[in-house]
Structure 1
Amino acid sequence: MSQSVIGRPSVNPDTSSPDTPAPTDQRPHGLVWKLGRWFLDGLPTIIVMSVLVAIGYYGHTHHWKIPTFAELTGQAKLVVKDWCEEHGVPESKCVICNPDLMPASPDYGWCTEHGVNNCPLHHPDVAELKKTPVITEATMQQADRALALRERPDNNAACKVYQKRIQFASNEAVQQAGVDVELVDQESVTEWVSGTGEIRYDPTRLANLSSRVPGTAWRVLKNVGDQVEEGEILAVVDAAEVGLLKTDLVKAIVAEKLARKNFERLNGLKGAIAGKDILEAESILAKEEAEVLSVEQALANLGLSVDVSSIANLSKQAMIDRLRFLGFPNELAEQFRSQTASANLIPVRSSMNGVITERNVVSSEVVTPERTLFEVADPSWMWLILNVPLEEASLIQVGQQVRFQPNGSRKEVTGNLSWISTAADKQTRMVKVRAEIDNAEGQLRDETFGAGRIILRQEKQAVVIPRSAVHWEGCCQVVFVRNKHYFDSPESPKVFQLRNVRTGFVNGNRVEIIAGLLPDEVVVTQGSDVLRAQLLKNSLGAGCCAE
């Protein structure tokens, strides 16, 4: 008989499903929980990767490398490091760390005369040359002239940069660094003071011509550009004053002749007539003679010279005909005779040889002594007026050579300084100077502008190098000089020595070296930035003038 329990279901364990999952917590999870679970799951991997990166970085910075088979088997040879990190050359060849490899030149210190250390002019043995050169007296005098002429850039006597040396590992390293060198040569050097200026007519060779008396221009015979000679007639003026003077001269000559005849007649009757009459006749004669001289002088003042004695015995008409064209040559007189009967003509003559540069008159114009009719200039010599900066005026002297190139011309003309103004221009603060220029070829023109140079000094054999070879190192000017043993052998140290220099005149990209270098030495002209960088590296903390 079966029994049942009311209220409890009957479960058959044999009929339950084995795949039915056990009951779990079905509550929802947030984003933070998920990120935290992800981090915890990946934490071991992150730790492992971090350790590997740390090991790799340490090995890289400490130059780890995979050992060779010889090292693993114990057959590798021990390698000794031979490199000077400070100077960038093999340690065994570094002449800076090992001075015995290349002993430094003697240190003669500061030269007060030339303003450099280890002056090659006084101590030529410091020059990087195989053979010690001989310094002549002419070379010393040339340096003295350059230093005495004007202030030159100074060096600091305490500067010790000249004791430095820069070394390269090999000649190939020098070439790869872009270092280029050039032989120190001698060239002609001309030092000058420059200024702008203009060409002008010489005022002592420039004439403004006018009529000496008022009148009318009767003929104009010359034009602008005509070459004229001294005394040549340029124009003819009809002046009534001239005619009156000629008439007065005829009257005075006739009156003087009558007075002379009267005096001679009375003087022959000296015993028969009173002496008073003779004295009176003599007085009248003297008066008429004075009148003749007065009129003659008046004509001479107008440039009309007359020989009274040659016409005194002529008749009145003959005298008038002779005086009509007084002052004119015979060919012009004959030409004018058929054109006019006037005795009022007076010539306007050139006072010098030259060329007519201006003409301000035409026929029939009224002229006066105040009016300029012609300008005549002698262009064979011209004036050059230059404007020189006030601060350089003390360098120039009368007699110095001047070179001038007019604008638009390739030709340079020369002259000599003849005058220096004692005052400066109020506005430009420039000083005017003058030179006289030979213009025999007639190529110069009045009021031509251009650039001029006053020559201060000329040297035929001066030491000159490119400007790029000279460097300012804070307290002195230096160049890099190649050591004289550079090419003795392939293993010879590739060394460049620093040298103080005193610079002179600069012209374009070339600079004169007054002291510090000698001809045939070799200096660095390009790529010196590499040498300067090495110099700076070696001098960090020391300073240019460190003891």
Structure 2
Amino acid sequence: MSQSVVETQKQAAGSKPNEVANSESSTNAPPGSTTQLPSQSLARRVVAFCGASVGPCLVLLAFAGLFAFGHYTDWKMPKFAALTGKVAPADADWCDEHGVPESICVECDESLMPKTPDFGWCSKHGIHNCVLDHPELAQLNETPAISSADRSRAELAMSMPLSKENNSGCLTYLKRIQFASVDAVAQAGVDVELVERRPIEQTVSGSGEILYDPTRTASFASRASGSVWRVEKTLGDRVEEGEVLALVEAEQVGDLKTSLIRALAEQSLQRQNVERLKIAKGAVAGVRLLEADADLAKAKAEVLSIAQSMENLGLSPDIQSLAQLSEREAFEQLRFLGIPQTLRSSVKAQVSSANFLPVRSSISGLIVERNVTQGEVVDTRRPLFRIVDTSQMWLMLEVPLEDVQQVEVGQKVHFQADGSSSQVLGQVDWISTGADSQTRMVKVRAVLPNPKGKLRDKTYGIGDIVLREEENAIAVPAESVHSEGCCRIVFVRDKHYFDSPESPKVFHVRSVRLGAYQDGFTEIVAGVLPGEVVATTGSDVLRAQLLKNGLGAGCCVDE
């Protein structure tokens, strides 16, 4: 490019801003030019970037300082005195780990209170430092004697499914919880109670339904077709065995009574004929006597056949008595057959029929169903009354398959109906040999006495089958027991707690094996003894301290 052209371009660019001119000049500069304009522009950009980054960097540094301050001060605001430089020096005699002055901390200085001997795991009772085998470990002034009854109670309780042993690797039992003073215990809200003996029942529960006892239930129908002439009893009436419930006028009954009178007459005639032939035995052929005997036997058979048919209907004719009466007298006697004397006068005054068939109750009980009215036509297939002896009821329980193994015939059952505040005592008398394919429940039947008739059919509720009864079980309030995942523990107060004001205020962590629960108390199968003192209300404070001391170690790892 000619020199004149280059000079013309530079003159044209002279009217542009300096930055643009510089840019173009750098672009059109020949190779090897030593101009400094690009370096000056880059430096300005770096300076501008750094200036813009100062603010965010300061903010980040401020946050970092704030977090560092919070970390080293446990996020607590300093007191005004500290800010002004007038703060009092901190007390160095304090154990943050155990929450007591370090000078009296028995965990930091075991010489202040040596730990009790460690006998380790008791495989027989499933706990550590078992006081049943080592009663000297009990926090009592005198070493107690362990009776054979307590050992037998523990063995029986451990055979039950509710009693689970602890984890043999758990080391929580080695710990102790200490307070600075008695006042500190009171301020923490910790209360204590004595370990005592009390009655305990171990039960298995199941939902149940009360039913009428089928062996004490009966339905009654007319034994012959006919029409109901009178209904003597109604729903809710109590009847005794043999009482008449209703009178049915049945044609079949009248026919049988008439046939019986004829058969009795024929029998009497044939008997007289035989007697005459026997008197004239030499004057008649023996064949005629044989024929007369055969006719007499046939007449007797007819009488017995008709009498049996009447027995099938519930009528019991006195054949010998009827045979001594005339036909008219026999008819009058048969007319009121089966009808009580209290009803005969009213029946005789109203009708002259001999077709009456009484419907009687064969059991004593209450009428729970009545399905008949006066004048109604009935047959043998239709039940007219249902009577139940309610003095005894059935309880059908549904028990989980895993719990039924401990249930046996003869065990007591406590049943409480829904909406009722009272319990009924019964007894197991049958256990099903199969389980329901859908619910995996096993039916257990119990007999419930109901002398006052308070129980109702189709009543639902909960039944408790008593597996074990202990009159002198060792028990503690349920709030005293805590679970640490692999073991169950209570906090036992040291026996020297009140020896002097300087005595360490210590609670020992004791692993326990649990039994039954009843009315707010938990049975201790093994682990504590009567007379020891355990923390109850507020014992969560001790548990929290226990968790704090062992934070990160785990229940089954040494500290």
Instruction: Name the TM-score class by shorter chain.
Output: 0.7 to 0.9
* Paired residues for 1:209-358 under 5 Å: 209-358=220-369
User: Which has more radius of gyration?
Assistant: 1
| Residue matched to 1:439 | 450
Secondary structure, counterpart of 1:167 in structure 2: strand
Q: 1:177 aligns with which of 182, 188, 201?
A: 188
Q: 2:461 aligns with which of 435, 450, 470?
A: 450
What's the TM-score, normalizing by structure 2? 0.81
Q: Distance in 1 between matches of 2:504 and 2:299?
A: 112
Q: 2:175 aligns with which of 158, 161, 164?
A: 164
Instruction: Give 1:526 deviation, angstroms.
Output: 4.0
Q: Distance in 1 between matches of 2:99 and 2:218?
A: 80
| Corresponding letter in the other structure for 2:412 | Q
Q: 1:521 aligns with which of 509, 529, 532?
A: 532
| Corresponding letter in the other structure for 2:416 | Q
Distance 1:168 1:237, change over 3 A: same
| Corresponding letter in the other structure for 1:409 | S
* Paired residues for 1:24-173 under 5 Å: 82-173=93-184
Instruction: Give 1:124 deviation, angstroms.
Output: 1.0
Q: Distance in 2 between matches of 1:433 and 1:67?
A: 79
Secondary structure, counterpart of 1:149 in structure 2: coil
Distance 1:411 1:545, change over 3 A: closer
Kindly indicate whether residue 508 of structure 2 is the aligned counterpart of residue 497 of structure 1: yes
Instruction: Give 1:474 deviation, angstroms.
Output: 3.6
Q: Deviations over 1:375-433 (max 9, x none)?
A: 11111111112222222111211101111122232221111111111222333332221
Q: Distance in 1 between matches of 2:284 and 2:542?
A: 125
| Residue matched to 1:75 | none
Instruction: Give 1:350 deviation, angstroms.
Output: 0.8
| Residue matched to 1:19 | none
Instruction: Give 1:204 deviation, angstroms.
Output: 1.1
| Residue matched to 1:506 | 517
Greater shift, 264-273 or 206-215, is seen at: 264-273
Q: 2:486 aligns with which of 461, 466, 475?
A: 475
Percent identical among aligned pairs is 54
Secondary structure, counterpart of 2:398 in structure 1: strand
Are the counterparts in 1 of residues 200 and 517 from structure 2 also a CA contact under 8 Å? no
Greater shift, 506-515 or 221-230, is seen at: 506-515
Instruction: Give 1:501 deviation, angstroms.
Output: 0.9
Q: Deviations over 1:471-511 (max 9, x none)?
A: 22342222222111111111111222111111122346432
Q: Distance in 1 between matches of 2:509 and 2:478?
A: 16
Q: Distance in 2 between matches of 1:228 and 1:368?
A: 23
Q: Distance in 2 between matches of 1:122 and 1:369?
A: 74
Secondary structure, counterpart of 1:481 in structure 2: strand
Secondary structure, counterpart of 1:143 in structure 2: helix
| Corresponding letter in the other structure for 1:307 | D
Secondary structure, counterpart of 2:419 in structure 1: coil
Distance 1:84 1:358, change over 3 A: closer
Greater shift, 178-187 or 369-378, is seen at: 178-187
Q: Distance in 2 between matches of 1:243 and 1:471?
A: 83
Are the counterparts in 1 of residues 162 and 515 from structure 2 also a CA contact under 8 Å? no
Distance 1:442 1:526, change over 3 A: closer
Greater shift, 458-467 or 116-125, is seen at: 458-467
| Corresponding letter in the other structure for 1:425 | D
Kindly indicate whether residue 376 of structure 2 is the aligned counterpart of residue 378 of structure 1: no
| Residue matched to 2:208 | 197
Instruction: Give 1:292 deviation, angstroms.
Output: 1.1
| Residue matched to 1:463 | 474
**RMSD in angstroms over aligned alpha carbons?**
2.8
Q: 1:416 aligns with which of 427, 430, 435?
A: 427
Q: Deviations over 1:454-483 (max 9, x none)?
A: 111121222222333222234222222211
Distance 1:526 1:281, change over 3 A: closer
Instruction: Give 1:221 deviation, angstroms.
Output: 1.1
Q: Distance in 2 between matches of 1:144 and 1:374?
A: 55
Greater shift, 463-472 or 433-442, is seen at: 463-472
Q: Structure 1: give runs of 5+ residues left out of the alignment.
A: 1-31, 40-53, 69-78
| Residue matched to 1:9 | none
Instruction: Give 1:542 deviation, angstroms.
Output: 4.3
